[in-house]
Structure 1
Amino acid sequence: MAKRVSLSGNEAVAQAMRQINPDVVAAFPITPSTEIPQYFSQFVANGQVTTEFVPVESEHSAMSACIGAAAAGGRVMTATSANGLALMWEMLYIAASSRLPITLAAVNRALSGPINIHNDHSDTMGARDSGWIQLYGENAQEAYDNFIMAVKIGEHPDVQLPVMDCFDGFITSHAVENLEMLEDEEVKAFVGENRVAPYALIGQEPVSMGPLDLPPYYFEHKRQQAEAMKNAKRVILEVAAEFEKLTGRKYGLFEEYRMEDAEAAIVILNSSAGTAKAVVDSLRAEGKKVGLIKIRVFRPFPAEELAEALSKVKAVAVMDKADSFSAAGGPVFTEVRSAMYGRADGKIVVSYIYGLGGRDVTTNQIEKVYNDLFSAIETGKYEVYNYVGVRE
């Protein structure tokens, strides 16, 4: 039976780790994810888990240790942020291409430089094409739930891919919220006591693994990896349905908020969705037909489903807490606009960059985005590439 607790996002994810009791956790501290391995190391020291905890000298080493442990057939986890994720870059690709279902708590933080320890999404957006599944969560409850589901998703025989559980640094990681925690036995039953590895370095039928893959086979292996990512979309929904039966909490590829008759909509990620929902409610009270879509699954990208959800609106603003420096819009914007092309044509689709380096986003700023959309609908005039909340 679920129990009501008050925890920060980092504490909630550390508790999920404890409940799962992985074989190996290898980690190196970096703000704002440091608390996750710190809390978990206490569980190890207290004998609450049987996990082998590996303190390493860098994040590159942390992911390297995770790859080795996962290749040996173990259930493996870690946590990092920002520059730490960037230092893992090479190993992120190796983990994914080796088809190793490692679970990573990615606590979103601005990527240097200049150095900044506050929240935006430049770290995980930079890793969006590394081959990892990416789940995003609005609050501590979703960070906890997504982490548990991530294990089951990544280990599914049709997937066998690593998964990032992404949530906002400080805003979610350090803020204490009320949430429902499952009983330890429920979590263990949901994910399974042990990982079942279809292949491993050790065991009854050991295989050898290595990073060298020359032209005769490399392309085919990448094709298999791409197919696994396609399979992940189905598996994510299957795991979510099973989780809903256990908890009553429903998860999809994204959340639609008051979209039933919306003319203007915002697409957004993570904690800012909570602020935007308040604006939606306020504008709805004034009779304005506005809605919101909060993307939960960014990899694999739910292109067809998102296009269908946006097919009846007149204008869409995609709000990115990262800039792609493409001179054409933010990373989520380009994905959304591409998804709509040929499926939901004739819409106004614009990009808004906001909140970089932890800059606050206010309800007034989000209300302005909606007002801009209505102005674009009325006049047909708009800028595609915009910034909100910055001194020009």
Structure 2
Amino acid sequence: MAIRERLSGNEAVATAMKQINPDVVAAFPITPSTEVPQYFSQFVANGSVDTEFVAVESEHSAMSACVGASAAGARVMTATSANGLALMWEILYIAASSRLPIVMPVINRALSGPINIHNDHSDSMGARDSGWIQLYSEDNQEAYDNIIQAIRIAEHKDVRLPVMVCMDGFIVSHSVENIELLETEKVKEFVGEYDPGLDTLLNPEQPVAMGPLDLPPHYFEHKRQQAEAMKNAKEVILEIAKEFEALTGRKYGLFEEYKMEDAEVAIVVLNSTAGTAKEVVDELREKGVKAGLVKIRVFRPFPVEELREALKHVKAVAVMDKADSFSAAGGPVFVETRAALYDAETRPVMISYIYGLGGRDVKTDDIMKVYEDLLEIVKTGEVKSVYNYLGVRE
């Protein structure tokens, strides 16, 4: 029997961590992720978990401790945001290249500077090529569900890569919503006991080195293995999602298609903005407009073939990025989505919108303007601007 609760996103994530009961959590506070280790430390203090909680002096140290514990064979988790993620930068790559299945909630926040504690995706988008799998969460329920699935994904024998579970700072992390929790016993059964295998630092029968100097004779091959593991992750993510659906009735894929069956115009977006956009899609549908939405859940590995199939019949698509890549070629999600459509026999006109930087509100009126721009493109065949900024004072 599912447990009905009212939790903030941070509480939901910390509760999932409690039910998983990892061996080690090493963390350092930073807004808006601070509550995750704070709540979890209370579970440690009251005996709800038997996790070794390591309070460190920085996020660089937090990820370093996670790497050491994971290399020793422990199931390991942490959490961070923005500048904290940036301070981990060096160790993010080490965790991924060492094939360590660490799971980390990333509570998305603008990456300085100027310093800003509010939501955008510049932190996790900056880390998109670090070798971590990235899952994105529209709401509290999806954040909770993604954390539980992330453990299985990271630890799968064909993957063995770290996973970020991203959710929007304050918008999701501090907002209280109704949520369905699994019973702890079911969570434990679903994630199972962690089997680190033989290649751990604490196995005297099979000595190994972790993070050694890797010169030209072998470095390229190790990177190729990482790339193959990321490719494998796509199928593993879908397999685990099917198991999770059988357990909960909640269905997850690489992305969600909302009213896309006959859509002529569509938006591609991440995280909580999808909820706002769905309201606009419903309003347009009531007026007879064939509008749709694709909400990307899995950004790494990027769902190239699947996204191409979902969008190839649409006439015009807007990709909305809550991060600017400063490439003069559009935001990061736009560039990858556009590239995915390159080999399609028929493909839509695509335009890019940068929006919401530093926590700038995005409202239904803003989303409606995007759809109106798409409808104008379909009507006239004219694209006035491929690269656009939404809701900014020019």
Band the TM-score falls in, shorter-chain normalisation:
over 0.9
1:104 aligns with 2:104: yes
Say if 1:100 and 1:344 are closer, same or farther in 2 by CA, change over 3 A. Answer: farther
Give yes or no for contact 1:140–1:172 (8 Å, CA) kept in 2: yes
CA–CA distance in 2 between the matches of 1:210 and 1:352? Answer: 40
Q: Which amino acid aligns with 2:359?
A: G
State the superposition RMSD in angstroms.
Answer: 0.9
AA matched with 1:235: V
- Hey, what's the Cα distance between the residues in 2 that align with 1:362 and 1:229? 35
The correspondence of residues 192-231 of structure 1 with structure 2, limited to 5 A, is: 192-203=192-203, 204-231=205-232
339-348 or 36-45, which deviates more: 339-348
**Secondary structure of the equivalent of 2:194?**
coil
State whether residues 310 and 344 of structure 1, in contact with CA within 8 Å, keep that contact through their aligned partners in structure 2: no
Partner of 1:333: 334
Matched, 1:358 2:359: yes
Distance of 1:68 and 1:154 partners within structure 2:
16
Aligned match of 1:370: 371
Q: Kindly tell me the number of residue pairs found equivalent between the two proteins.
A: 392
Partner of 2:52: 52
- How far did residue 346 of structure 1 move? 4.0
State the AA in 2 paired with 1:385: Y
Alpha-carbon distance in structure 1 between the residues aligned to 2:63 and 2:266: 38
The corresponding residue for 1:301 is 302
> In the aligned structure 1, how far is the partner of 2:304 from the partner of 2:35?
35
Return the alpha-carbon distance in structure 2 between the equivalents of residues 296 and 346 of structure 1. Answer: 22
Aligned-partner Cα distance in 1 for 2:212–2:12: 35
Match of 1:13 in 2: 13
- Residue 310 of structure 1 deviates from its aligned partner by 0.2
Give the equivalent residue in structure 2 for 1:390: 392
TM-score computed with the length of structure 2 as normaliser: 0.98
**Distance verdict in 2 for CA 1:250–1:205, change over 3 Å:** same
Q: State the match for 1:76 in structure 2.
A: 76
Q: What is the CA–CA distance in structure 1 between the aligned matches of 2:125 and 2:176, rounded to whole Å?
A: 26
Alpha-carbon distance in 2 for matches of 1:185, 1:370: 45
Q: CA shift at 1:220, angstroms? A: 0.3
Q: Is the 8 A contact 1:27 1:56 kept in 2?
A: yes
- One-letter amino acid matched to 2:310: A
For the residues of structure 2 that align with 1:196 and 1:68, how far apart are their CA atoms?
Answer: 13
Q: Which runs of 5+ in 1 are unaligned?
A: none
* Residue 306 of structure 2 corresponds to residue 273 of structure 1: no
Question: What are the residue-to-residue correspondences of 1:30-69 with 2, within 5 Å?
Answer: 30-69=30-69
How far did 1:356 drift? 0.4
**Alpha-carbon offset, residue 193 of structure 1:** 2.8
Alignment of 1:107-146 (within 5 A): 107-146=107-146
* Cα drift, residue 198 of structure 1: 4.6
**Residue 205 of structure 1: how far off its partner (Å):** 2.8
Rounded to whole Å, the distance in 1 between the matches of 2:117 and 2:151 is: 28
Q: 206-215 or 136-145, which moves further after superposition?
A: 206-215
Unaligned runs of 5+ in 2: none
Letter in 2 for 1:213: D
| Cα contact 2:230–2:301 (8 A) shared by 1 | yes
Deviation of residue 199 (structure 1)? 1.6
Partner of 1:90: 90
Please name the residue that 1:161 is paired with: 161
The residue aligned with 1:24 is: 24
Deviations 1:154-189 (A, max 9, x none): 000000000000000000000000010000100000
Deviation at 1:86, TM superposition (A): 0.5
Asked whether the 8 Å contact 2:354–2:389 carries over to 1, the reply is yes
Tell me which residue corresponds to 1:311: 312
8 Å Cα contact 1:82/1:109 also seen in 2: yes
- Distance of 1:107 and 1:7 partners within structure 2: 16
Report the CA distance between 1:378 and its aligned residue. 1.5
Identity of aligned residues (%): 75
User: SS of the residue aligned with 1:216?
Assistant: coil
| 1:103 alignment partner AA | V
The code of the aligned residue for 2:6 comes to S
The alpha carbon displacement at 1:207 in A equals: 1.6
The 3-state SS of whatever aligns with 1:240 is: helix
Q: Is the 8 A contact 2:341 2:347 kept in 1?
A: no
- Deviation of 1:344 (Å): 5.1
Are the aligned partners of 1:157 and 1:198 in contact in 2 as well (CA < 8 Å)? no
CA distance in 1, matches of 2:68, 2:345: 45
